[in-house]
Amino acid sequence: MFTAKVREFALKAEPYLYATLRIVAGALFAFHGAQKILGWHSHFMPPMGSQLWVGGVIELVGGTLIALGLLTRPVAFLAAGEMAVAYFQFHWKFALAGGMWLPGINQGELAVVYCFLFLLIAAHGSGVAALGGRSRRNAA
């Protein structure tokens, strides 16, 4: 009986909890971009046109679009790709010695989590509370 009530609650809450996850993740990602592009709460701003600057633009614009639920699937897929590049190029650096391939050692946990989170968002779509209109359930 308890399990049935939990399941019923989970089924009703899932669209709204997913929307909260999408909005919060997008806003946090946009903040990382704002640090790079606008210098908010950061002492480092990469040179315009550099790879880090392009990544910052993807984070700022992409995070904002994901949070708003606009162009969610393609933007989340792009953001996942950016985070994969960030992990392999800037955290792991293809070094195997000393466990440097482990995210806990090379400080790449956030890049890995963002990568897989944005893959989930790309697969799921915008869901409820999105300005983009069509949710996954309506897209079929």
Domain count, the chain: 1
Phi, then psi, of 55 in degrees rounded to 5: -60, -40
pLDDT of the residue at 132: 83
Is the Cβ–Cβ distance between 70 and 87 less than 8 Å?
no
DSSP sequence for 16-78: HHHHHHHHHHHHHHHHHHHHHHT-TT-S--PPTTSHHHHHHHHHHHHHHHHHHTSSHHHHHHH
pLDDT of the residue at 138: 43
- Residues 8-20: pLDDT tens digits? 998 999 999 999 9
Residue 135 covered by a domain: no
Q: How far is CA 139 from CA 8, 38, 39, 135, in A?
A: 24, 36, 39, 6
- Percent over 70 (pLDDT), the chain: 94
Residue 137 covered by a domain: no
Which residues make Cβ contacts (< 8 Å) with residue 101, sequence separation at least 6? 92, 95
Residue 68 covered by a domain: yes
- Residues 83-127: pLDDT tens digits? 999 999 999 998 888 888 899 999 999 999 999 999 999 999 999
Residue 90 covered by a domain: yes
16: which 2 tokens?
């709204």
Q: How far apart are CA 91 and CA 134, in angstroms?
A: 36
Q: Is the pLDDT of residue 1 over 60?
A: yes
Domain span at 44: 16-126
pLDDT of the residue at 51: 95
DSSP sequence for 69-125: TSSHHHHHHHHHHHHHHIIIIIIITT--GGGTTSHHHHT-HHHHHHHHHHHHHHHH-
Residue 72 covered by a domain: yes
pLDDT of the residue at 50: 95
Mean pLDDT of the chain: 92
Backbone dihedral region of 67: left (phi > 0), alpha (psi from -120 to 50 degrees) or beta?
alpha
Residue 138 covered by a domain: no
Residue 9 covered by a domain: no
Q: What's the pTM value of the predicted model, to 2 decimals?
A: 0.87
Residue 36 covered by a domain: yes
